[in-house]
Amino acid sequence: MDAARDVFFRDGFMRANLDEMAEKAGVAKGTLYRYFASKADLYVAVLADNLDIFLERMEEAAKPSGSALEQVRSIGRFYFAHWLEHPDYFQIFWAIDNESVIGELPREVIDKIGGFWEANLKVLHSVLEQGVASGEFVACDTWEIANVLWSIANSLIESDSTKARRQIRCRPLEPLYAHAIDTVVRGILVDPSQVELSPPATIRPSTLVRHDSQ
């Protein structure tokens, strides 16, 4: 796994070489296939390797004392910081969306990733449920709101994956990410004035495509 991680994170999935992984691990190439059905299976296994640690840290992020609003914000800050520190692991989203490129993933791999996502959504869902129970949030479909927040966070992170997407976004990612979370949560607050949204910015057409140095 360590050898595969080194090669995958250095070269990406398409250019990563299984022969080099086997050599770095000190095993025969055939040994890899005793444990992993394909290169894609090994790749996803590497990407999923820190899932348990991630869940523990997300649970910690959901624990600060204070309002449910602050707990949701804390989870959001953790998720963004984790992406900044471990961007390579977020390629798991690319992997499951591109089976046509990397090959069909085993059912058990898909189930493992799905179980991980559900476990993390349950952490966020629990915070939202507590907010409704305490009267801070209005009665709503908290599971749906959790999925909306999760989807928005991942979509914004994905918008930073290529230079072209960054140019199209034409806004700094971190404040946009925080603003998006606040906008959703503001919609379920009993007292929306708890969240003060920043005024709209004026974007000139000339800023829609940025130079590489910006």
Question: Are residues 14 and 92 both part of a single domain?
Answer: no
* HSE-up (13 A, CA, CB side) for residue 199: 1
* 189: in domain: yes
Question: Are residues 187 and 92 both part of a single domain?
Answer: yes
Tell me the residue length of the chain. Answer: 214
C-beta pairs of 38-41 under 8 Å, 24+ apart in sequence: 38/103, 39/13, 39/102, 39/103, 40/13, 40/95, 40/99, 40/102, 40/103, 40/104, 40/105, 41/105, 41/106, 41/109
Question: Are residues 29 and 45 both part of a single domain?
Answer: no
* 212: in domain: no
Q: How many domains are contained in the chain?
A: 2
Q: pLDDT tens digits for 97-113?
A: 666 666 677 777 777 77
Instruction: Taking the CA atoms of 124, 5, 42 and 159 in sequence, report the sign of the dihedral they define.
Output: positive
Q: Which domain holds residue 123?
A: 37-207
| 36-50, 123-137, 193-207: least confident range | 193-207
Question: Are residues 151 and 62 both part of a single domain?
Answer: yes
Question: Are residues 4 and 95 both part of a single domain?
Answer: no
Q: What is the pLDDT of residue 201?
A: 55
Closest by Cα among 69, 57, 180 to 119: 57
Q: What is the pLDDT of residue 154?
A: 87
Residue 1: which CATH number?
1.10.10.60
Which carries the bigger pLDDT value, residue 151 or residue 44?
151
- Mean pLDDT, range 189-207, rounded to an integer: 71
Q: What is the pLDDT of residue 81?
A: 92
Q: What is the pLDDT of residue 102?
A: 67
Contacts of residue 45, Cβ cutoff 8 Å, sequence gap at least 6? 1, 4, 36, 109
Question: Are residues 13 and 76 both part of a single domain?
Answer: no
Q: What is the pLDDT of residue 101?
A: 67
- Angle CA 116–78–182, to nearest 5: 105
- Mean pLDDT, range 20-37, rounded to an integer: 89
Question: Are residues 76 and 174 both part of a single domain?
Answer: yes
Question: Are residues 200 and 146 both part of a single domain?
Answer: yes
Question: Are residues 27 and 75 both part of a single domain?
Answer: no
- Distance (Å, rounded) from C-alpha 44 to C-alpha 64? 32
Q: What is the pLDDT of residue 200?
A: 57
- Tell me the pLDDT of the chain averaged across its residues: 83
Residue 168 neighbours by CB distance under 10 Å: 12
Q: What is the pLDDT of residue 92?
A: 67
Q: What is the pLDDT of residue 184?
A: 96
- Mean pLDDT, range 133-148, rounded to an integer: 96
Question: Are residues 28 and 45 both part of a single domain?
Answer: no
The DSSP call for residue 189 is B
Residue 172 confidence (pLDDT) above 70 = yes
Question: Are residues 136 and 74 both part of a single domain?
Answer: yes
Residue 161: which CATH number?
1.10.357.10
Residue 137 bridge partners (DSSP): 189
Q: pLDDT tens digits for 141-154?
A: 999 999 999 999 98
Q: What is the pLDDT of residue 40?
A: 80
- pTM for this structure? 0.74
Which carries the bigger pLDDT value, residue 122 or residue 200?
122
Q: What is the pLDDT of residue 97?
A: 66
